[in-house]
Structure 1
C-alpha cells in the first residue's frame, strides 16, 4: 500500500507526464517529418518552438482559473484540448497544419504543467514540497527516458502520425485518472473569483518581486538549455553522428537519467546545506560543464562520448536547480499560488522558446551551435542566480 505522500506523487507525476510526452515521443520523428511533408529541418524545429511558446502563454490562463474553480476542472478541460490537438496533428496534410495542431496541443497541455505545482503548494511548503516535487519529477522521468524509444517503435510499426494517436489516448487516460483518483486540494473557502484587476495586481506584485523573478529565470534559463537540446539533438545525433532513431533515443535517455537522478537528492541536500547554497553550487557546476564542453568542441574535440558525458554532468546539476527554484519561487506567494505558478511557468517557457528561436538560424547540423546556445543559457542562469542572491540578502537584512 502506497503512503499518501507517494500516492500523491504518482498521481501528479502521471498527470504531468502528458505534456513532456508530446515533446519526447515526437523527437525521433523530426527528420522523417521534414522529409515526408517536403519541408526543411528549420520548419520541423518550429513544431517544437511553437509548442513551447504556446505552452508558456497558456499557463497564464490556467492558474487564475484554478484559483477560482478549483484544481480539477481546468485539468480535465486542458487534457481534452490536448487530445483534440493530437488528432489534428495525426491528420495534418502539411507543415502548417502540423504546427497548428502542436499549438492546440500546447494550449491544452499547459494545464498539467501549472496546476500540479499549485496542488503541491496547497499541500506542502519548504523541504516537504521540494521532496514531493522531486518525486513527481521522478515519475515524469519515464517520459524522456522511454518516450523516444516508444516513439521510435511506433514510427517503425505505423509511421509518425500514429504517435499523435498514442498521445490522444494518453490524454484520455489522464482525464480518467484525474476524475477518479486526484482529490480536490483547494477548499471552496480559499477560492478567489477571477477578476482582471486581481490578476493584473497579482502579476505586478510578482513581476516587482526580484526574488520571485530571479528564481524563475534561474530555473527558466536552465530549462531553456533543454529546449535548445530538444530542438537540435535529433538532427545532430542522427545526421552528424550517424545514430539510428533507436540509438538517438538511448542517448537521449542517458541525458535524462542524469537530470532525474540528481533531482532526487535536491530535498535532502537542501535540508543539510540550505536550498540557496545547493542552487548556487549546482548553477556554478552547470556553467562550468557547459563552458568546458563549448571550449573543447570549439577546439576541434568533436567526439560523441565527450558530448554526451558532459551533457549528463550539466543536466545532473540542473536536476538540483529546477525543482528547488520552483518551490522557492512559490514559498512566499501561497495566497496566489496558481497565478504565481502560471506566471513563472509562462516566463520560463517563453525564455526557452525565444532562446531556441534565436539559435535556429545558426544551426548547421553540427553540435557546435547547439552547445554554444546551451552554454549561453548557463551564463544567463548564473547571472540570474547572482542577482537573486543579492536581492534575497537585502530582503533578509530588511526583515531584521
Structure 2
C-alpha cells in the first residue's frame, strides 16, 4: 500500500510539473524574448496571460472527458498537444506566433493539471488525499525551485528558444511515463458519458453548492497571489533591484520554499488538529502577512530582503491552504470528480487572470503594485473563508477532524 502511495505521488507529481515548468522555466526569458522578437513588455506578458487563459478554459474539457473515457487517454491527448505547441514556440519568429502557440500549449498543459486531481479523488479521500496532494506538490515543487534556474542556464548557454525544445522533450517523456507507470483509476462501470444535460445538471449542482464554491474561491484568491507574482516579479526584480536572470531565479526559488515545506505538513496537521482548523489559521496568517508586506512597502521599507522574506512566510501559510481547500471541496462530489476538478481549476485560472489584469494598468516597474494585489488576494481569500466556514459547520460538512 505504501509503495503504491509513493509511486502514485511520484508519477502524478512529475506529470503535474509539466504545466508549471512551461511557466517557471520561461520567466527569466521574458526580457530576452521581448528583445529577441523586438516587441514590448506588454506584448511579451500577453504570451504568459494567454497560456493562463487557455490553461483555465481547457480544464472544463478534460474533466468531463476523463469522467467518460477514463484518466489515461485524455492525459496522452493533452501531452501530445503540449508537445506540438512547444515545438511551435521554439520556432516562432514573431510575438504573435509565440502568443498563439503559447495558447495551444496551455490547452495541452491543462490535462496534467486537472486529471491528477481526479485520480487522487478516485483513490483517496480526507487526510490521505491531502497527504497525496501534498506529496505531489513536493515532487512538482522542483518547478518553482529549479525551473527558473534551468531557464536562465539555457539562456546563458544558448538561446531562449532552447527552453521550448526542453519542454517538448519533457512532454514526450511524460507520455511514456503515463503509458508505462500510471494505471487507469476509473473503472468502466464508474464512467459517466458526456451528455450536455448531465453536464448542465452537474454544473448546476456545483454552482449551487456554497461549500464547493466558497472553498474554491478561498483557494483561487490564494493561488492568484502567486500568479500575480509570476507575471510581475521578473520585471520588478530586474528594474527595481537590478537582479540578473540567475539572481531572479534564486529569489524566485526562495519564495517557493515556504509553500513547499508547509504543504508537506498539511496532511499530518490535518490528521492531528482537523483540516478545517488548520486551514482557518493558515488563511488568517496569509492575509495578515500579505497585508503587512503591503504596508511596509507603502511606507518605504520594501527592500528586496523584506519582500522575499515576507513572501516566504506568506507562502508558507498558503501551502497549508491550497491542498486542504482542494481536498475538502472535492470530498462531497466523488460522482463528478472530473467535472468538479475542472470547474475548480478553471475558476482558479480565471480569477488569477483577472488579478493579473487588475495589476497591469498600475504596473510601473516598482514592487508596490505587485504587493498591493497580493495583499488584496489575501484579504479576499480570508473574506471567503469567513463566509464559508460557518456554512460547513451548519451542514455538518466532513472536514477531516480527528476522531
* TM-score, normalised via structure 1 length: 0.98
Q: Which residue of 2 aligns with 1:205?
A: 205
Q: Which residue of 2 aligns with 1:318?
A: 318
Shift in Å, 1:394? 2.4
**Structure 1 stretches of at least 4 aligned residues deviating more than 2 Å after TM superposition:** none
Q: Which residue of 2 aligns with 1:122?
A: 122
Q: Which residue of 2 aligns with 1:359?
A: 359
Shift in Å, 1:158? 1.8
Q: Which residue of 1 aligns with 2:15?
A: 15
Aligned length: 397
Contact 1:262–1:317 (Cα < 8 Å) also in 2: yes
Q: Which residue of 1 aligns with 2:193?
A: 193
Shift in Å, 1:393? 2.4
Q: Which residue of 1 aligns with 2:291?
A: 291
Shift in Å, 1:302? 2.6
Alpha-carbon distance between aligned partners in 1 of 2:357 and 2:161, rounded to the nearest angstrom: 25
Q: Which residue of 1 aligns with 2:35?
A: 35
Contact 1:222–1:377 (Cα < 8 Å) also in 2: yes
Q: Which residue of 1 aligns with 2:400?
A: none
The SS at the match of 1:216 is: helix
The SS at the match of 2:243 is: coil
The SS at the match of 1:184 is: coil
Bigger shift: residues 43-52 or 232-241: 43-52
1:265-304 aligned at under 5 Å gives the runs: 265-304=265-304
Alpha-carbon distance between aligned partners in 2 of 1:250 and 1:189, rounded to the nearest angstrom: 48
The yes-or-no answer on 1:69 pairing with 2:69 is yes
Shift in Å, 1:286? 0.4
* 1:9-67 deviations in Å (ceiling 9; x for gaps): 00000011100000000000011111221222222111121111111110000000000
Shift in Å, 1:396? 2.3
Q: Which residue of 2 aligns with 1:328?
A: 328
Unaligned runs of 5+ in 2: 398-403
Shift in Å, 1:318? 0.4
Contact 1:120–1:129 (Cα < 8 Å) also in 2: yes
Contact 1:254–1:312 (Cα < 8 Å) also in 2: yes
Alpha-carbon distance between aligned partners in 1 of 2:236 and 2:273, rounded to the nearest angstrom: 39
Alpha-carbon distance between aligned partners in 1 of 2:235 and 2:13, rounded to the nearest angstrom: 29
1:107-186 aligned at under 5 Å gives the runs: 107-186=107-186
Q: Which residue of 2 aligns with 1:47?
A: 47
The SS at the match of 2:396 is: helix
* 1:278-299 deviations in Å (ceiling 9; x for gaps): 1110010001111111001001
Bigger shift: residues 353-362 or 56-65: 353-362
Contact 1:50–1:353 (Cα < 8 Å) also in 2: no
Contact 1:70–1:191 (Cα < 8 Å) also in 2: yes
* TM-score, normalised via structure 2 length: 0.97
Alpha-carbon distance between aligned partners in 2 of 1:368 and 1:225, rounded to the nearest angstrom: 14
The SS at the match of 1:3 is: helix
Contact 1:66–1:338 (Cα < 8 Å) also in 2: yes
Alpha-carbon distance between aligned partners in 2 of 1:119 and 1:347, rounded to the nearest angstrom: 20
Alpha-carbon distance between aligned partners in 1 of 2:224 and 2:160, rounded to the nearest angstrom: 26
Shift in Å, 1:270? 0.8
The SS at the match of 1:396 is: coil
Shift in Å, 1:98? 1.0
Alpha-carbon distance between aligned partners in 1 of 2:164 and 2:113, rounded to the nearest angstrom: 19
Task: Give the superposed CA RMSD.
Answer: 1.1
Shift in Å, 1:390? 2.4
Alpha-carbon distance between aligned partners in 2 of 1:354 and 1:303, rounded to the nearest angstrom: 27
The SS at the match of 2:106 is: helix
CA gap 1:395/1:2 in 2 versus in 1, 3 angstroms: closer
Shift in Å, 1:75? 0.1
* 1:133-188 deviations in Å (ceiling 9; x for gaps): 00000000011100000001111112101100000000000000000110000001
Alpha-carbon distance between aligned partners in 2 of 1:268 and 1:396, rounded to the nearest angstrom: 22
Contact 1:219–1:321 (Cα < 8 Å) also in 2: yes
Alpha-carbon distance between aligned partners in 2 of 1:216 and 1:246, rounded to the nearest angstrom: 35
